[in-house]
C-alpha cells in the first residue's frame, strides 16, 4: 500500500492506516501535484501564475528532496512552457504542466499545435476569470476558450477528482485510439486552495493502471522525422483535422473503459457525466465544477421540500458526451443550464451545446433555460438555485427565456457602495 | 461569354501580376472580372496558381475561388507540365487553349491532349531582351489578353500601367515593360474559346477513423526529398571552368542549397537540385563560374 516518504516520515504508523482509508487533507493543487508524482511524469515545464503556483512549488520541492525523478524547468513564459511541453512529449516524455487564466491565453496558439502534433500532455488549468477587470477568482471562461483546440477537457468538482481525473486523463490521452492532450480543470480557490481528504493510491497500483508512456513515433536522432508538417494542399489539412475530430470522439469510449478499470483498482466510480438525484427528477440543473457541490446541496434541500429536482454534472466537456447528455435529459420537463462563464453577445457557452444535443430528440424538455452564475467567483446561494427552479416552472407555462444572471440584492447593494467609492456616483 | 483563365507558374515569375493585368485590362474594357491567386509558403520557385474570370454579364455571386474547368490555361514554366502535384492541364475544356512559355518549339513539348489549341512562345527570351529580367508578368498578361480576343491594346496598356505602378514599377522600367507587353500582344492571335462546362459530377465519400499511425501530420519516411528535383525551375545554369578554379571551396560554403560538393578535389554541381540562384557565380574569388540560359528543362 501507499508508502511515500513524505507521509511515512511525518506520521506514526497507526495514523498511516487511517490516512489510507480516509485520505489525507490536501488542497486541489497538492492533489494535482500528487497525480503528477504518481503518474511518474518525466518532464514538467513550468511558469508561475496565481492560483496555480502551489502545484509547481510542491513538485519542485519533491524533486529537490529526491522523492520525484522528473525534470522541472522554469521557462520564460507560458508560450515557451507549452512549446516545451508539446515537444517534450514528441520526444517521448510523459509531460505534466499547469497554468491559469491569462497564462493559458498567453500560450494559447500552442494548444492547437500540441493537439495537432498529437502530443498527449496533461495540462492542469486552475480556473481564474480572465481580465479585464482583473480578479483571482474563478469562472470557466479560460478553460472553455480551449474547447476547439483538440484537447480532451475534464472538469473536477472535488480535490479527490482532481487527482483521479489526472490519472484517467493520462490513460485516455496516451491511448492510441485518442492520442490527444488533455486539460484537467480545477476551480481556483474553491478547489485549488480548498483542503479536503484525498486518498492517494500506491505507486505500484498506479503503475499497473497507468503503464509507462510508449510514444508511437518519438523524436530520435537515429530516426529523423518532421513533426507538425506544413500541408499546403487543403484536402490534407481537412483530412488531418477531421481525423483528429474522430479520435477525440473515441475519448468517450476510452474514458469509460478506463473508468471501469479505475474502479477495479481504486474503488471510485467515474463517468463522463454525473447524475445527482436525476433519474426521477422532472426539473434538472446542468452544472460543472466545484459549484456543482452547491447545486447538489440545493437539490437535496428542494427534494426534502417536495420539488422533483435533479442535477446533471458535466465532467467531460470535450469530446462533448452527446449521447450521455441526451439520455440524461430527454423526457425531462425543464432543464436549466447554469453557465459559470459569460459569452458577450450570446449568453453562456454550454447552453447552446446542451440545446444542440436535445434539438432532434422527440421527447425533449419543453424549456431549456439559459442561466449565468458564478462568473468571476461570485458565490451562488441556495436561494439563487431555488430561483432558477421557479423560473423553469414559469417558462414551462409560456414565454421565451433570455439568459438570466444570478445576482442578489445584497450583492447589488455592495456593488453600488463600491461604485460610490470608485467613481463617486 | 465567359473566360475562365488559369495561370500556373512558380513564385517570382509574376503569375499573380499576370492574372491581375488580364483582370484589370478586361475590367477597363468594360467586362465583369475577378482575379485571385493561391500560393503556399512564399518563396521563389514554389508553384503558384492564379485565376481570372471574365464575363460580359455581372459575375454571379456563386463564382469564387479555384477554377476547375478553365477554357484558357497559361503555363509560365514548362517544367510544371510534368509536375504531378501541379497537374496544370487538369480540367481544361475541350476546344480550349493552352499557352506554354518555353524555349522549345511546340512539337518538342509533350502534351497529352489533342483537343486543345497549343500556343508556345519563349517569353523569357523576350523578357531578357526588352526588360533585362526573367520576370514574366507583363508578357504573360499581354499574351492572355490577346488570346481572349476581347481586349484592345489601349485597355491592356492601361491595365499594365496600373498594375505595375501599384507594385512600385516606374520610369524607364515601366516603359520597358509596356514595350514588352506590346511585343507579346502582337506575337499571338486570338483563339476561339468554348464556354466552360461543368465537369463530371464528383462523388462524395464518407471519411472514417483511421489508425493514428496514418493520421499524425508528420513525415517519417526519410530520404524522400530525393524524388523532388528542385532544379527543374532553374532559368540560368551555372558552369565551372575547372582550369581557372583554385579549389578553394568557397562556392561549396556559399551555395544555399548545398548542392556543390568537392569530388576528387574538384567542385561539382548537382544539377538535379541547383536552383540557379548564381550565388556561386557571384562569390567565386577567381571568377571560375559562368552561366548559360537553361533551355532544356532539367
Ligand atoms: S569558389 Fe571558385 S575557385 Fe573556389 S572552389 Fe568554387 S569554383 Fe573553384
Ligand atoms: S546557382 Fe550555384 S549557388 Fe545557386 S543553387 Fe546552383 S550551385 Fe548553388
Q: State the Cα–Cα distance between residues A148 and A245, nearest whole angstrom.
A: 10
Which residue, by CA, sits nearest to atom 6 of ligand 1? Answer: B251
Checking if the pLDDT of A5 tops 70, the result is: no
Residue-wise pLDDT tens digits, A174-216: 999 999 999 999 999 999 999 999 999 999 999 999 999 999 9
Residue-wise pLDDT tens digits, A81-126: 999 999 999 999 999 999 999 999 999 999 999 999 999 999 999 9
Residue-wise pLDDT tens digits, A380-416: 999 999 999 999 999 999 999 999 999 999 999 999 9
Q: Is A179 left (phi over 0), alpha (psi -120 to 50) or beta?
A: left
- Which residues in chain A have their CB less than 8 angstroms from residue B222's CB? 223-225
Tell me how far apart the 2 most distant CA atoms of chain A are, in Å: 70
C-alpha cell at B278: 548564381
Burial class (CB in 10 A: 0-12, 13-18, 19+), A333: middle
B278 and B236 in contact (C-beta within 8 Å)? yes
CA dihedral angle for residue B109, residue B112, residue B115, residue B121, rounded to 10 degrees: -20
C-beta atoms of B219 and A243 within 8 A:
no
For β-strands A71-74 and A43-46, DSSP reports them as parallel
CA of B271 to the centre of ligand 2 (A): 9
Task: Calculate what percentage of chain A has a pLDDT beyond 90.
Answer: 90
B257 and B230 in contact (C-beta within 8 Å)? yes
Q: Tell whether A243 is within 8 A of chain B (Cβ).
A: yes
Prediction ipTM score: 0.82
Q: Which of A228, A242, A249 sits opposite B218 (nearest CB)?
A: A228
CA dihedral angle for residue A312, residue A314, residue A319, residue A322, rounded to 10 degrees: 10
pTM of the full structure: 0.86
Cell 496516451 belongs to which residue?
A: A174
CA of B288 to the centre of ligand 1 (A): 6
Residue-wise pLDDT tens digits, A219-264: 888 888 888 888 877 899 999 999 999 999 999 999 999 999 999 9
Q: Is the CB of B257 under 6 A from ligand 2?
A: yes
Q: How many CB atoms lie within 10 A of CB A92?
A: 18
Q: Is the CB of B45 under 6 A from ligand 2?
A: no
Q: How confident is the model at residue B298 (pLDDT cuts 50, 70, 90)?
A: very low
B37 pairs with which residues across the strands? Answer: B50
Q: Tell whether A177 is within 8 A of chain B (Cβ).
A: yes
Q: Where do the H-state alpha helices sit in A118-230?
A: 141-144, 159-174, 203-209
Burial class (CB in 10 A: 0-12, 13-18, 19+), A400: exposed
Amino acid at each position: 500500500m501507499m508508502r511515500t516518504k513524505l507521509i511515512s516520515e511525518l506520521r506514526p504508523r497507526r495514523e498511516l492506516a487511517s490516512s489510507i482509508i480516509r485520505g489525507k487533507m490536501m488542497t486541489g493543487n497538492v492533489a494535482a501535484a500528487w497525480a503528477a508524482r504518481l503518474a511518474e511524469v518525466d518532464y514538467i515545464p513550468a511558469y508561475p501564475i496565481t492560483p496555480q503556483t502551489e502545484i509547481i512549488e510542491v513538485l519542485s520541492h519533491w524533486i529537490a528532496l529526491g522523492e520525484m525523478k522528473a525534470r522541472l524547468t522554469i521557462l520564460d513564459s507560458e508560450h515557451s512552457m507549452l512549446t516545451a511541453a508539446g515537444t517534450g512529449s514528441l520526444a517521448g516524455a510523459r509531460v505534466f504542466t499547469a497554468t491559469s487564466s491569462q497564462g493559458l491565453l498567453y500560450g494559447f496558439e500552442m494548444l492547437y499545435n500540441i493537439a495537432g502534433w498529437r502530443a498527449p500532455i496533461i495540462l492542469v488549468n486552475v480556473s481564474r476569470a480572465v481580465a479585464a477587470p482583473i480578479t483571482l477568482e474563478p469562472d470557466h471562461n479560460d478553460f472553455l476558450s480551449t474547447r476547439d483546440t483538440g484537447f480532451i477537457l475534464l472538469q473536477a468538482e472535488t480535490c479527490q477528482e482532481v487527482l483521479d481525473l489526472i490519472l484517467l486523463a493520462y490513460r485516455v490521452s496516451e491511448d492510441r485510439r485518442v492520442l490527444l492532450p488533455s486539460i484537467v480543470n480545477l476551480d481556483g480557490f474553491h478547489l485549488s486552495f480548498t483542503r479536503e481528504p484525498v486518498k492517494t493510491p500506491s505507486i505500484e497500483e498506479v503503475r499497473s493502471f497507468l503503464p509507462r508512456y510508449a510514444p508511437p513515433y518519438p523524436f530520435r536522432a537515429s530516426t529523423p522525422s518532421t513533426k507538425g508538417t506544413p500541408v499546403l494542399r487543403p484536402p490534407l489539412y481537412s483530412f488531418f483535422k477531421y481525423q483528429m475530430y474522430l479520435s477525440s470522439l473515441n475519448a468517450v469510449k476510452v474514458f469509460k473503459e478506463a473508468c471501469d478499470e479505475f474502479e477495479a483498482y481504486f474503488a471510485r466510480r467515474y463517468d463522463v457525466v454525473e447524475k445527482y438525484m436525476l433519474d426521477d427528477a422532472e426539473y434538472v440543473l446542468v452544472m460543472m465544477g466545484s459549484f456543482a457541490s452547491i447545486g447538489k446541496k440545493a437539490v437535496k434541500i428542494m427534494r426534502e421540500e417536495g420539488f422533483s429536482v435533479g442535477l446533471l454534472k458535466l465532467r467531460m466537456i470535450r469530446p462533448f458526451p452527446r449521447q450521455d447528455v441526451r439520455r440524461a435529459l430527454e423526457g425531462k420537463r425543464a432543464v436549466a443550464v447554469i453557465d459559470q462563464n459569460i459569452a458577450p453577445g450570446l449568453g453562456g457557452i454550454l447552453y447552446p451545446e446542451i440545446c444542440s444535443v436535445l434539438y432532434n430528440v422527440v421527447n425533449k424538455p419543453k424549456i431549456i433555460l439559459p442561466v449565468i452564475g458564478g462568473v468571476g467567483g461570485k458565490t451562488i446561494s441556495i436561494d439563487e438555485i431555488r430561483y432558477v427552479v421557479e423560473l423553469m416552472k414559469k417558462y414551462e407555462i409560456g414565454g421565451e427565456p433570455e439568459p438570466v444572471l444570478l445576482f442578489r440584492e445584497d450583492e447589488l447593494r455592495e456593488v453600488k457602495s463600491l461604485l460610490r467609492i470608485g467613481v463617486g456616483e | 461569354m465567359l473566360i475562365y483563365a488559369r495561370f500556373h507558374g512558380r513564385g517570382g515569375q509574376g503569375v499573380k501580376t499576370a492574372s491581375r493585368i488580364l483582370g484589370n485590362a478586361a475590367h477597363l474594357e468594360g467586362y465583369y472580372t475577378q482575379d485571385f491567386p493561391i500560393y503556399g509558403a512564399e518563396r521563389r520557385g514554389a508553384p503558384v496558381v492564379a485565376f481570372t474570370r471574365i464575363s460580359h454579364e455581372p459575375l454571379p455571386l456563386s463564382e469564387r475561388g479555384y477554377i476547375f474547368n478553365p477554357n484558357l490555361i497559361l503555363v509560365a514554366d514548362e517544367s510544371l507540365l510534368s509536375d504531378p502535384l501541379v497537374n496544370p492541364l487538369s480540367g481544361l475544356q475541350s476546344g480550349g487553349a493552352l499557352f506554354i512559355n518555353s524555349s522549345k518549339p511546340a512539337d518538342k513539348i509533350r502534351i497529352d491532349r489533342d483537343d486543345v489549341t497549343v500556343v508556345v512562345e519563349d517569353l523569357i527570351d523576350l523578357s531578357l531582351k526588352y526588360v533585362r529580367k526573367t520576370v514574366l508578368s507583363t508578357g504573360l498578361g499581354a499574351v492572355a489578353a490577346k488570346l481572349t480576343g476581347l481586349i484592345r491594346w489601349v485597355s491592356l496598356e492601361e491595365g499594365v500601367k496600373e498594375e505595375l505602378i501599384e507594385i512600385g514599377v516606374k520610369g524607364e522600367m515601366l516603359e520597358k515593360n509596356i514595350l514588352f507587353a506590346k511585343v507579346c500582344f502582337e506575337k499571338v492571335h486570338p483563339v476561339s474559346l468554348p464556354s466552360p462546362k461543368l465537369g463530371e459530377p464528383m462523388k462524395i465519400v464518407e471519411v472514417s477513423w483511421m489508425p493514428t499511425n496514418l493520421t499524425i501530420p508528420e513525415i517519417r519516411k526519410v530520404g524522400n526529398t530525393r524524388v523532388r528535383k528542385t532544379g527543374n525551375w532553374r532559368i540560368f545554369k551555372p558552369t565551372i571552368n575547372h582550369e581557372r578554379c583554385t579549389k578553394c571551396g568557397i562556392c561549396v560554403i556559399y551555395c544555399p542549397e548545398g548542392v556543390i560538393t568537392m569530388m576528387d578535389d574538384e567542385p561539382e554541381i548537382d544539377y538535379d537540385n541547383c536552383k540557379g540562384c548564381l550565388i556561386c557565380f557571384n562569390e567565386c574569388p577567381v571568377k571560375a563560374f559562368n552561366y548559360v540560359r537553361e533551355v532544356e528543362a532539367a
